[in-house]
């Protein structure tokens, strides 16, 4: 049984783009094949809510080999898209204490339905632990109103090599 939706996906206005791909690039460091978000459509700092989507294209690098004749968006890329959504929120709300946010882990992840080329994967995240050392977001993914994914994404601040903060004694 899937969990209760964080937000009813039917109520998310996908035409109200808060950040397009170029705006996301100004915040998230992923490029080329690893860019997994098309747009951010909701930011609510009071409730720690963020929503965005990925338009799944037929020309993506994984389509040819991830289940020939029945291409499925790999679960690891769904998780990556969820992490990028959370990272965007963390950086733009000023919670970042580092150069960028890295994956700290995943918990309670379940895939409930396939995501295929031509689908729009709507991701909705709610921050459940918000501090400068670690963030945890409960994230759900939908195609239409069908929940296809849910889990908890843990984010941790990372520092570029050689830029590590001084350790306290």
**Which residue's entry shows tokens 């037929």?**
58
The single residue of 48, 66, 150, 159 carrying the catalytic annotation is 66
CB of 12 within 8 A of CB of 124?
Answer: yes
Distances (CA, A) of 73 to 101, 109, 114, 151: 23, 15, 7, 17
The question of whether 66 is a catalytic residue gets the answer yes
Q: What gap in Å lies between CA 151 and CA 3, rounded to an integer?
A: 10
Instruction: Kindly state the helix (H) or strand (E) to which residue 146 belongs, with its residue range.
Output: strand 146-158
CB of 28 within 8 A of CB of 37?
Answer: yes
List residues with catalytic annotation: 66
């Amino acid at each position: 049984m899937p969990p209760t939706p964080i937000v009813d996906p039917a109520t998310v206005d996908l035409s109200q783009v808060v950040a397009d791909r170029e705006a996301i690039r100004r915040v998230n460091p992923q490029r080329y094949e690893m860019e997994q978000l098309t747009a951010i459509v909701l930011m609510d700092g009071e409730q720690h809510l963020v929503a965005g989507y990925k338009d799944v294209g037929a020309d993506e690098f994984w389509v040819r080999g991830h289940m020939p004749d029945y291409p499925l968006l790999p679960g690891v890329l769904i998780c990556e898209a969820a992490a990028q959504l959370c990272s965007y929120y963390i950086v733009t709300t000023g919670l970042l204490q580092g150069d960028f946010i890295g994956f700290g882990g995943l918990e309670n992840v379940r895939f409930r339905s396939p995501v295929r080329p031509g689908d729009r994967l709507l991701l909705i995240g709610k921050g459940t632990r918000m501090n400068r050392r670690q963030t945890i977001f409960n994230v759900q993914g939908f195609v239409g109103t069908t929940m296809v994914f849910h889990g908890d994404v843990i984010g941790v601040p990372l520092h570029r090599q050689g830029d590590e903060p001084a350790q306290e004694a």
